[in-house]
Structure 1
Amino acid sequence: MLRPWTFQLTERIDARRGAPLYLQIVHALIHEIERGRLVPGAPLPSSRELAASLGVNRKTIVLAYDDLVAQGWFSTDRTRGTFVSAQLPETKPGKAARTDMRCAEFDFRAPPEPRLVFAGQDRVVIDDGLPDPRLFSVETLLHAHREAGRRAARSGGLGYGDPRGALELRRMISEMLATHRGIVVGEDEICVTRGSQMGIFLAARILLSPGDAVLVEGLSYASARDAFAAAGAEVIGVGLDAEGLNVDDVERECARRNVRAVYVTPHHQFPTTVSLTPERRLKLLQIAAKHRFAIIEDDYDHEFHFERQPLLPMASYAPGRTIYVGSMSKLLLPGLRVGYIAAPQEVARAIANVAATIDRQGNALTELAVAELIRSGELRRHVRKARQIYARRRDAFGASLRRVFGARVDYSVPDGGLAYWATFPDAATLDALEASAADNGVRMLPSTSFAAPQQTGRGLRLGFGSLDEAEAARALSRLAGALGEESAGRAELDEAAARRHI
Structure 2
Amino acid sequence: MQALSTLISIEKDSSQPVYLQIANQLMLFIKEGNLQAGHRLPSTRQMADWLQVHRKTVVQAYDELLAQGWLESRTGSGTFVAKHLPEIHPRSLLNGSSSHFNPAHTAGFEFEPTPHLDRPAIWSKHKYHLDDGFPDSRLAPLEELARAYRTQLLTGNPYERLGYGDTMGALWLRKVLADYLNDTRGLKVTPENVLITRGTVMGLYLSCTAFVNPGDTVVVGELNYNGANMSFLQRGANLLKIPVDENGIVVEELAAICRKQKVRMVYVTSHHFYPTTTALRADRRIELLRLAEQYGFIIFEDDYDYDFHYLSKPLLPLASADKAGMVIYCGSFTKTISPAFRVGYVVASENVIRHLAMLRRIVDRQGDILLENAIAELLQNGIIHRYLRKAVRTYRQRRDVFCELLKTHLSEYVQFQVPVGGMAVWTHFDAAINLNTLTQKAIQHELYFSTGYRNEAGKPMLNATRLGFASSTPEELECCVEILRKLLKA
- Normalising by the smaller structure, the TM-score range is 0.7 to 0.9
Distance 1:483 1:456, change over 3 A: closer
Q: Amino acid of the residue matched to residue 295 of structure 1?
A: I
Structure 2 regions of 5+ residues with no counterpart? Answer: 4-23, 36-94, 97-101
Q: Following TM superposition, by how much is the alpha carbon of 1:164 offset from its aligned partner in structure 2, in angstroms?
A: 0.8
2:318 corresponds to 1:311: no
Say if 2:439 and 2:448, in contact at 8 Å, map to a contact too: no
User: Paired residue for 2:274?
Assistant: 270
Q: Following TM superposition, by how much is the alpha carbon of 1:254 offset from its aligned partner in structure 2, in angstroms?
A: 1.7
Which whole-Å deviations, capped at 9, do the CAs of 1:429-476 have from their partners, x for residues lacking one? 546534634444433332221136778744110111111112222223
Give the Cα separation in 1 of the matches to 2:240 and 2:460. Answer: 9
Structure number with the higher helix fraction is 1
Give the Cα separation in 1 of the matches to 2:165 and 2:209. Answer: 22
User: Paired residue for 2:448?
Assistant: 443
Give the Cα separation in 2 of the matches to 1:458 and 1:249. Answer: 25
Q: TM-score, normalized by length of structure 1?
A: 0.74
Q: Following TM superposition, by how much is the alpha carbon of 1:217 offset from its aligned partner in structure 2, in angstroms?
A: 1.3
**What is the 5 A alignment of 1:96-135?**
101-109=104-112, 111=114, 112-120=117-125, 122=126, 124-135=128-139
Q: Following TM superposition, by how much is the alpha carbon of 1:428 offset from its aligned partner in structure 2, in angstroms?
A: 3.3
Q: 2:180 aligns with which of 176, 181, 186?
A: 176
Q: Amino acid of the residue matched to residue 106 of structure 2?
A: C
Distance 1:258 1:436, change over 3 A: farther
Distance 1:134 1:435, change over 3 A: closer
User: Paired residue for 1:347?
Assistant: 352
**What is the 5 A alignment of 1:40-439?**
101-109=104-112, 111=114, 112-120=117-125, 122=126, 124-150=128-154, 152-153=156-157, 156-318=160-322, 320-428=325-433, 430=435, 432-434=437-439, 436-439=441-444
Give the Cα separation in 2 of the matches to 1:115 and 1:315. Answer: 32
Say if 2:455 and 2:465, in contact at 8 Å, map to a contact too: no
Give the Cα separation in 2 of the matches to 1:200 and 1:151. Answer: 34
Q: Amino acid of the residue matched to residue 163 of structure 2?
A: G
Cα RMSD over matched residues? 2.9
Q: Amino acid of the residue matched to residue 336 of structure 2?
A: L
Give the Cα separation in 2 of the matches to 1:257 and 1:33. Answer: 65
Q: Amino acid of the residue matched to residue 385 of structure 1?
A: K
Say if 2:436 and 2:451, in contact at 8 Å, map to a contact too: no
Give the Cα separation in 1 of the matches to 2:197 and 2:393. Answer: 29
**Percent of matched pairs sharing the same residue:** 35
Give the Cα separation in 2 of the matches to 1:356 and 1:480. Answer: 51
Q: Amino acid of the residue matched to residue 110 of structure 2?
A: D
Give the Cα separation in 2 of the matches to 1:34 and 1:118. Answer: 41
Q: Following TM superposition, by how much is the alpha carbon of 1:482 offset from its aligned partner in structure 2, in angstroms?
A: 3.4
Give the Cα separation in 2 of the matches to 1:189 and 1:179. Answer: 15
Give the Cα separation in 2 of the matches to 1:252 and 1:228. Answer: 21
Which whole-Å deviations, capped at 9, do the CAs of 1:227-250 have from their partners, x for residues lacking one? 111111122211111111100011
Distance 1:152 1:132, change over 3 A: farther
Q: Would you identify which runs of 4 or more consecutive aligned residues in structure 1 move more than 6 Å? A: 31-34, 453-456
Q: Which stretch of the first structure deviates more once superposed, 446-455 or 324-333?
A: 446-455
Give the Cα separation in 2 of the matches to 1:406 and 1:344. Answer: 48
User: Paired residue for 2:483?
Assistant: 478
Q: TM-score, normalized by length of structure 2?
A: 0.76
Q: Amino acid of the residue matched to residue 483 of structure 1?
A: L
Distance 1:367 1:431, change over 3 A: closer
User: Paired residue for 1:25?
Assistant: none
Say if 1:236 and 1:452, in contact at 8 Å, map to a contact too: no
Give the Cα separation in 1 of the matches to 2:273 and 2:201. Answer: 16
Structure 1 regions of 5+ residues with no counterpart? Answer: 5-30, 39-82, 85-98, 486-502
Q: Amino acid of the residue matched to residue 402 of structure 2?
A: F
Q: Following TM superposition, by how much is the alpha carbon of 1:126 offset from its aligned partner in structure 2, in angstroms?
A: 2.1
Say if 1:170 and 1:191, in contact at 8 Å, map to a contact too: yes
Corresponding residue SS for 1:335:
coil
Give the Cα separation in 2 of the matches to 1:338 and 1:145. Answer: 14
Corresponding residue SS for 2:259:
helix
Which whole-Å deviations, capped at 9, do the CAs of 1:143-167 have from their partners, x for residues lacking one? 1112333555378243212211111
